[in-house]
Amino acid sequence: MIRFQNLTKSYPVGESRKVVIDDLSLTLPTGKSLALLGRNGAGKSTLLQLIAGTIRPDSGQIISDGTISWPVGFGGSFHRDLTGAQNVRFIARVYGVDTESLVDFVDDFAELGKHFHMPIRSYSSGMRSRLAFGASMGIRFDTYLVDEVTAVGDAAFRRKSRAVFAERMKQSGAILVSHEMGQVREFCDSGLILEHGALRYYPDLEEAIAAHQAMMA
């Protein structure tokens, strides 16, 4: 269960502020894989970061009774002066999982080669995303937050990413941001639409997709 209570988030734009989440109160169901749909710039990535706790709201709170990943594919929280392997070891200690098992999993999965033992500051954005995806898939969470993750890497890496993510979804829920409706249908069973700071839950995925496509027309 994830519950939003009077959640508000805005950003300064010139001399005014753009509200991306506006006094949101909503409870998301447990164990569902939810597609988070909306226009570009609606605030989908911001909402994922709020849920993960990587940014703070202006007001209100988010309550959860399960474990939540950081936004999969988001490598912005890595320490730039540490190597990929050192960052993964730190993550393992924070989440209380076996350090060497997680390091071995990420090393094999992310396919970074010698770069895995080089500082994050030398990584491309794609390399950081692959490291973040590998680290998050190596830990069992109740809910995975996913922001266009399978767009990272070549075709073979994307296939591997989808296979691992599908395996995790057998026992976990997710909130997935994707512009590919095929991917949404593959992984999700319900939908959310974020528009003008308001979030609406659709128990029926196809109804959510239809409402999103009508909004975009």
Same domain, 112 and 183: no
Q: Which helix (H) or strand (E) holds 182?
A: helix 181-187
Same domain, 163 and 133: no
d(CA 171, CA 139): 12
Same domain, 55 and 147: yes
Is 1 part of any domain? no
pTM of the model: 0.87
Same domain, 106 and 146: no
Is 6 part of any domain? no
Q: Which residue has the tokens 């098992």?
A: 101
Residue 43 pLDDT = 93
Is 172 part of any domain? yes
Same domain, 82 and 36: no
- Considering the chain, what is the average pLDDT of its residues? 91
Residue 35 has pLDDT above 90, yes or no: yes
CA 65 → CA 22, 68, 121, 139, distances in Å?
23, 9, 35, 17
Same domain, 215 and 160: yes
- Non-local (6+) Cβ contacts of 182 within 8 A are none
Q: Which residue has the tokens 């988030």?
A: 9
d(CA 195, CA 101): 41
Query: Residue 197's domain spans which residues?
Result: 12-67+141-217
β-pairing, 198-202 with 143-147? unpaired
Assign residue 173 the CATH number of its domain: 3.40.50.300
The 10s digit of each residue's pLDDT in 154-183 is: 788 888 888 898 899 999 999 999 888 998
Residue 39, both tokens: 């226009």
Is 7 part of any domain? no
Same domain, 58 and 149: yes
Same domain, 177 and 217: yes
Same domain, 62 and 101: no
Domains of the chain: total:
2
Q: Which residue has the tokens 């999969």?
A: 72
